[in-house]
Chains A and B, each alone.
Chain A
Amino acid sequence: MDILVILEGANGAIHRISKEAVAAAQALGKDLNQKVSVLVFGKNSDNLSKEAASFKVDEVLLVEDDNLKSYSADAYAETVKQIVEKESPKFVLTGYSYLVRDFFPKVSARLQKPLITDVTGYKVEGSKTLFTKQVLHGKLTVDIETKVDGPVLVGFQSAAYSLDNLEKGSAKIRTAEVTLDSAQLKTTSEEPFQEESGGVDLTSADKIVSIGRGIGKEENIPMINDLAAALKAEIGASRPIVDSGWLPNSHQVGSSGQSVTPNLYLALGISGAIQHVVGMKGSKNIVAINRDPDAPIFEVADYGVVGDILEIVPKLTEALKNQ
């Protein structure tokens, strides 16, 4: 086996981030002239395996086991480990979702093989395949090289590959077996739940004024309320603002918050970490104000201002009121 993609189910279908990983695998497969297989595992995963078989891949491996009925980090890790040992792929790719983050490093530990995470792309250079990721608050990028034989494990950053490139086909399904000893499964999990429904719905907003840690202190929030009122915009925020309790959770934009696509996204004092950017880069117009000219937010902005929000925002609000 050449390239194996680990698929994750979410609400009875294959998780978007897993499909992005299949798109990445198809591209890598073409470049390296290698075949792509996918792994579906769980209990009663007919829907998932059928969906997987609709991708242009060599084959779908299906593992069904009672111990995989609900999420268990140990059962998931052990399943992937045993399949990788049996099938000896050269690459094991997956979308680095919040569930995969929980068990995939265990696979790395159990196989003693390298895992590269939050990967945004790859480069084939001669006989080497390097994987690219952002480091140091997203300000710099590295190409990572592996030094061992056998499988390289890769977790792709959300939205690194576009679903537009996912090629459809029809693959055959092969069932595979693993041996899971329930005594070895240490963790048990309950059903996923949503903390608070209600709060603001930013997904349908036309204009969003979004604040980050650059706002400095809670006392400066009213300044943003004024701006949002003058612009008739909703208020969004980066994670640290919500973590500090300055705004409720429902205002958070990013991978653990909402994904938004307004006509105007005004980013104020937000550095542009990848977990924030995945939630707002689909906005039609992004305007960013940040005092650091190297802030990664400028990479996705249509208009940028290098400056102090505490100085600019009050004047901008005044000017908007005079329109």
Chain B
Amino acid sequence: MKIGVLVKQVASGESPLRIDTSGKWVVEESIDFTTNESDSYALEEALQIIERSGGAGEVVVISMCPAERTPKIIREALAKGGHRAIHIQEEAPYETDPFMVASIFAEALKDESFDLILSGLQSDDLGSGQTGVILGELLGMSTATLVMGVELQKGKLRVKRELESGWFQWVTLPFPACITIQSGLNQPRYPSLKGIMGAKKKEIKSIAKSDVKGSGTPMQEFSRMYTHKAEKRTEMIEGSTDQIVDRMIDIFKKNIKVI
């Protein structure tokens, strides 16, 4: 089985974020980049699918991000067991239209003829929740989202989809398929030392985004970015740890009356 996995580099949750001079994105210098959360689960699932089917096949790691930011997350994915990588190099301003992102991937990947493409269900920076499904559509694949379990059947895939509030649904789909993975379906592995050493020799094919033809023009664009206002007036409790604890007890007793 030939599997493609989309992994995206995103700002970590604790990165300081400052809006840049364009007013449409953030200053990148201070950002700590990491692998998008659900993508780590997608990669792990791809590696396990190959392992479950006796090791035959290939996991191709695919990412679109600036040239200088490549190595970290792609190398990490290769160190975990990805066989090779495709890096679509893009320059700022980055593409924020999910249809464009997906059509760039579709164009760059169409000759790979993957049996299966896995992506995360949603990116932690843009949060479009669309890239995988649109990519699947553009490549004529069957699709399913929010996948929390994967069963390989003869010529088919049976996946467990998450619904709201603890509900699930099994869906069966034919190959080639493109599925988007929800966090929590497995426990992503850490790269081994051997894996890290081995990753250095693995192929990373670089393609410039500008060389990918037929990607059209964006249909949606960020008009402005800003910090939102609080929904509520929040009383901030300050002071030493002891003072904070005293005030909290006071609030529990007098204001909220729970003790």
Contacts and interface: CB of A to CB of B under 8 A. Distances in A.
B223 A187 contact: no
Interface string B95-134: 0011100100000000000000000010011111110011
A143 interface: yes
Interface residues of A, dominant DSSP: mixed
Interface stretch (B47-55, B193-201, B243-251): B243-251
Contact of B184 (A114, A117, A242): A242
Contact of B227 (A108, A140, A145, A239): A140
A109 B137 contact: yes
Interface string A133-163: 1111101111111111000000000000000
B99 A114 contact: yes
Contacts of A105: 98, 129-130, 133-134, 137
Contacts of B226: 140-142
Contact-size category for A:
35 or more
A311 B241 contact: yes
Interface string A304-323: 11110001100110011001
A287 B145 contact: no
Contact of A137 (B121, B124, B225): B124
Interface in B1-49: 11, 13-14, 16-17, 19, 24, 26, 37
Interface stretch (B67-75, B78-86, B165-173, B204-212): B165-173
A319 B146 contact: no
Nearest to B170: A190
A138 B259 CA distance: 33
Contacts of A244: 187
B134 A108 contact: yes
Query: What's the interface size class on B, roughly?
Result: 35 or more
A259 B164 CA distance: 11
B221 to A, nearest CB: 5
A33 interface: no
A216 interface: no
B154 interface: no
A257 to B, nearest CB: 7
Contacts of A99: 163
User: Binding site of B, secondary structure by majority: helix, strand, loop or mixed?
Assistant: mixed
B169 to A, nearest CB: 5
Nearest to A255: B164
A306 B236 contact: yes
B228 A73 contact: no
B141 to A, nearest CB: 9
Interface string B217-244: 1111111111111111111111001101
A73 B134 CA distance: 13
B22 to A, nearest CB: 12
Nearest to A317: B245
A263 interface: yes
Nearest to B137: A109
Nearest to B253: A323
A147 B223 CA distance: 11
Nearest to A191: B169
B255 interface: yes
B244 A305 contact: yes
Contact of B167 (A193, A299, A315): A193
Contact of A192 (B13, B168, B174, B238): B168
A298 interface: yes
B130 A144 contact: no
B215 interface: no
Nearest to A293: B236
A292 B221 CA distance: 29
Contacts of A66: none
A312 B134 contact: no
Contact of B166 (A186, A256, A263, A301): A256
B144 interface: yes
A188 interface: yes
A144 B259 contact: no
A143 B164 contact: no
Nearest to B158: A190
Given A117-B129, A137-B124, 6 more contacts: A102-B144, A137-B13, A140-B227, A142-B223, A188-B172, A311-B241
Interface of A: 71, 73-74, 96-99, 101-102, 105-106, 108-110, 112-118, 130, 133-137, 139-148, 186-196, 206-207, 213, 231, 239-240, 242-245, 249-250, 255-259, 263-264, 271, 281, 284-285, 287, 292, 294, 298-307, 311-312, 315-316, 319-320, 323
